[in-house]
Amino acid sequence: MDDVGPALSVVLSHRDPSARIEHLLTLEGLGPTRVEGGHGIVPPGLLEEVFELNEQLDEIRELREGGSAPAEVQARLEAAAGPIEARRAAHEARIAALTEQWDRVAPDAGATERRATLSALRECLLERNYINNLLASIGSARSQLSTGTAHG
């Protein structure tokens, strides 16, 4: 029973919804949403976007290294970031909705309903983690542009 206090505080904490969800997933035996090193398998729903973004980042890198105007490179970075940022916003909304659904059904829901909600939450977190990695790549390219570290 001594372990219930800290565990319950994590579960009930709304300060870090991701930690709460990760804890719920662990309690329900669904495992973490990251593998060692923080990288996971690309979620199937993101494969095409990942491929497109990587191509765009390669093109942007070539533009930058080829001496293109920084404004042009910046505009391409912003265009590449837009759809990914929109996807992240959609995932945040979906995670919030699923969390609310969990809070409504969890106490008296059947095992199937509980598992379905948690599985959907896990999938959303996996995708969100990958989306955040994609946005970090864009952020890195922005930093290189502003500091001029990647000019060839």
* 92 vs 3: CA distance, rounded Å: 30
Tens digit of pLDDT for each residue in 28-73?
887 666 544 445 566 777 788 888 888 998 999 899 889 889 899 8
Per-residue pLDDT at 86 exceeds 90: yes
Q: Are 60 and 77 in contact (CB under 8 A)?
A: yes
Task: Provide the 8-state DSSP code for 148.
Answer: T
Per-residue pLDDT at 89 exceeds 90: yes
- Per-residue pLDDT at 106: 61
Percent of the chain with pLDDT over 70: 77
Tens digit of pLDDT for each residue in 2-15?
444 444 444 455 56
- Per-residue pLDDT at 79: 92
- Per-residue pLDDT at 13: 52
- Give the pLDDT mean for 85-90: 92
Which tokens belong to 128? Answer: 């969100």
E runs forming strands in the chain? none
Per-residue pLDDT at 26 exceeds 70: yes
DSSP secondary structure string, 108-147? Answer: G--HHHHHHHHHHHHHHHHHHHHHHHHHHHHHHHHHHHHH
Tens digit of pLDDT for each residue in 123-141?
888 888 888 888 998 888 8
- Per-residue pLDDT at 94: 92
* 28 vs 105: CA distance, rounded Å: 15
Its sign, for the CA torsion 14, 122, 84, 39, is positive
The residue type of 152 is G
Overall residue count recorded for the chain in this entry: 152
What structural domains does the chain harbor? 42-147 (1.20.58)
